[in-house]
Chain A
């Protein structure tokens, strides 16, 4: 498989980046067409394999494909100009630079967010690299279908994509790779890192915890509805999904009333996008958290008769992750400035902070939380739509995968 991919990549390396992006444009247009048979098959199969609600899959796939459409912007942003992938470009007076993709990009995806492979697969192709993909067991179909649409639009590009599942101990996918990109638990990431030879760039996205901040100026039902949407999407399994919400006192709603309002919207969304059937272990975890909360929390709002959703409210802040599967912990604070010290001990885990409030306070919060490791501040209600420009977990997404050749003293000496 590797031989075939590397051979196809040699031809890809000769094509201009905009030509590749043109093919990807056609691919994304197809994926955004609800009538396209591959899109329909993907929706069906993802629902079947993950159990996630069909309406959620439709929205989620649109989000993922929109992110791919931002790829030219991401390339220009990380590389100065994407033309650096086609030849030497002026980077600074007296400095010509050219970027090289990894040649072969090996990707290991986790199954928590269907459609996740789209961006990285497209990015690999735009970097004129073959992409070897190990799709997750829980959602094995999307990557293959995405590769199929690329093949249908451009065979040369299609032959640069290989989708196959391999054993956890197998090393062949890594030896000839220029870069390896992996998503998973900290343990999974550590295991893969061990198999990747020295000298091969390794980018691992391990365990992350995200949370929401609600300033008093935005403590209203509209924010509550948006937060409930963030919790509902992917049944809260995304690394960007909020576990906790810190809610400031003094707004339209008390933090308690805000928690209740989130619950009401979670209940509504549970009708529109029912939670998937969870394993007995997950159900026990949900039940355990709710049972514990009945005797320790200040309020518990939850579905009756099942474990479809819950909001556990505390009047004093703490850092306590969720069981996931649509269980949000809300904490009242007098001032959002209290949140920094609460989350500080967990800096290695912090990722997305969803913020609702005035822009000037957003910058102040980002300043405080950024120093603690938070890599993304976005609007409440938009956590599942990260900008293609977001530096995933704080490091350049495209920039981490390319290698550069620089010519020093270019302009003056080259004449």
Chain B
């Protein structure tokens, strides 16, 4: 199916449901943990005709099982980032090889982030993939730089000790046209907290992704963008990427595509909001748990149930964030509160 997917990434027309059902059949056959998950729900290939009935695998599965549907042994994996809260298990996303991953990453980035531009200096607020080879974000950013960056103008400005502000400041001073700053949301918080001030040339943009995960103070997205514009100039274009290590593709604000800040993704990604109780699709405008079908996830599992809450609208979707922990109502205590309380006591 690789060749077919490559064509789809290049814009060839395709029937989403048909490809999805074939992908399901292949992954059901090849990935034992996923097959068990489907069997427990009485869902085997050929027993239903609507791809929406394909069981969506909870992303937590990537922490506990090898979710792999490639041929032979995997050639690479990306690892989810831990949080500073504790030594939690990290998930791994296994790949036969990274060709598909790379092929789907660049056209979508060019459309949603660069707004179709061909070249732009890229400054990365992330760790160099040479240092952090199992970070999907670092690898993704390296490919974007190779495809669309300007040789000699750019670099990686985060290392184990954090954001290298002085170097970033020098690099920003050296560019003369529009520039792209790309990285994690918490690195941008460190940037604005550092007091760095400069006015980026018109047409400059930033793309940030991910949560804060205890690595910086928590900042609302609107507030973060206000702070970024305060530090880097009022006209900086700000784009949020919605993705996760367990996906191959990403979704983005559609600022550069349709003008809407609500999110969209490429044609091979379907995002739906489900009732967490029944997993039935909720109506447009209603919050639900985010379910993703990413056909580029050929070597793992294309059908994912996230832990995020989102709302679908006519012009795109919004992510409300990770579902906050549930609380009990009185002198009883529920799991999430208990974990929070005991984490506080331990730290």
Contact = CB atoms under 8 A, between A and B. Distances in A.
Nearest to B40: A294
A291 B324 contact: no
A183 B331 contact: yes
Interface in B251-278: 275-278
Interface in A256-311: 278-289, 291-292, 294-296, 304-307
B307 interface: yes
Given A207-B331, A284-B289, A296 B64 contact: yes
A207 B337 contact: yes
Contacts of A110: 329-331
B326 A284 contact: yes
B279 to A, nearest CB: 8
A113 interface: yes
A207 B325 CA distance: 16
B148 interface: no
Interface of B: 33, 37, 40-41, 58, 60-61, 63-65, 275-278, 287-289, 305, 307, 309, 323-338, 341-342
8 contacts: A110-B329, A184-B331, A207-B332, A280-B287, A283-B275, A285-B334, A285-B336, A295-B63
Contacts of B341: 186, 207
A285 B329 contact: no
Interface residues of A, number: 49
A286 B328 CA distance: 12
Nearest to B59: A291
Contact of B278 (A209, A237, A305): A305
A79 interface: no
Contacts of B58: 287-288, 291-292, 294
5 cross-chain pairs, A with B, having the tightest CB-CB distances, nearest first: A110-B330, A291-B58, A295-B64, A112-B330, A283-B276
A382 interface: no
A185 interface: yes
A238 B305 contact: no
Interface in A112-132: 112-113
Nearest to B324: A281
Contact of A287 (B40, B63, B276, B336): B276
Interface in A174-216: 183-186, 205-209
A113 B330 CA distance: 8
B333 A111 contact: no
A69 interface: no
Contacts of B65: 295
Contacts of B60: 288, 291-292, 295
A183 B330 contact: yes
Interface in A307-365: 307, 320-324, 346, 349
Given A112-B330, A285-B335, 9 more contacts: A236-B332, A278-B277, A281-B325, A283-B277, A288-B60, A323-B336, A324-B326, A324-B332, A349-B338
